[in-house]
Amino acid sequence: MRISFLVTSFSLILGGNLVGLAAMSPAYAAESPVIMQVGSTGQQVKVLQEDLQSLGYFPQNEGLTQYFGPITSSAVSHFKETHHLGSSSNVTSQVLSLIEQSTKRTSLPPTSLSMKLVQKARTYLGYAYVWGGNQPSSGFDCSGFTQYVFSQFGKSLDRTSQAQAQEGTPVSKSNLQPGDLVFFATDGPLSHVGIYIGSGEFINSASTHVEIDDLTTGYWASVYETARRIL
């Protein structure tokens, strides 16, 4: 009886210590509570959509609503994947704060030509990649996309990424500004081009469609080559 009592008491003490350790250990720390998810409604959802749209994750041709549906879910997932936060579409307070901070970081003076160019480029998010394409009606390849966007602001660029890499003035990666052309060696030197939009991201016509990607980590960081300032 005494031995059984001691074993039981020791187990309770040990169990209590484990619970205490679990509560203090970061590995057991509870995740931030979810404040928005699929099915959520209200003005906060509409503000989230607006922020994601300004960052290029929510389609420009989609109207803003107060409903967290599949389109919002996809936009949140893309944002979180880009920032290495997993792939779920749940929005926690930390995720919402990062979205709001990113929106502020990408803000430019209202009269900035660079801001207008970036905003124009974002209107083509989701347009199909088509080899040789350089018009919205036909789709874009990478250099056709940059050529077309800059042409809307009176800037004439050569047709290929290699030729565009000789235009403007060179700029280091650490001094990139929105509107700069960024170049990559995806299929040989200077074989891909996009437009830097701020916060380490660029917009480009990639393998399937016009999209926003992160050039600071992962694949695009590994193939980054150089940048040129046109504006």
Residues belonging to the active site: 142, 192, 204
User: Could you give the C-alpha distances from 146 to 45, 110, 111, 151, 212, in angstroms and in order?
Assistant: 32, 22, 21, 8, 13
Within 8 A by CB and 6+ apart from 61, the residues are 123, 126
- 3-class state of residue 227 by DSSP: strand
Read out DSSP for 158-223?
-SSHHHHTTSSEE--GGG--TT-EEEE-SSSTT-EEEEEEETTEEEEE-SSBEEEEESSSHHHHHH
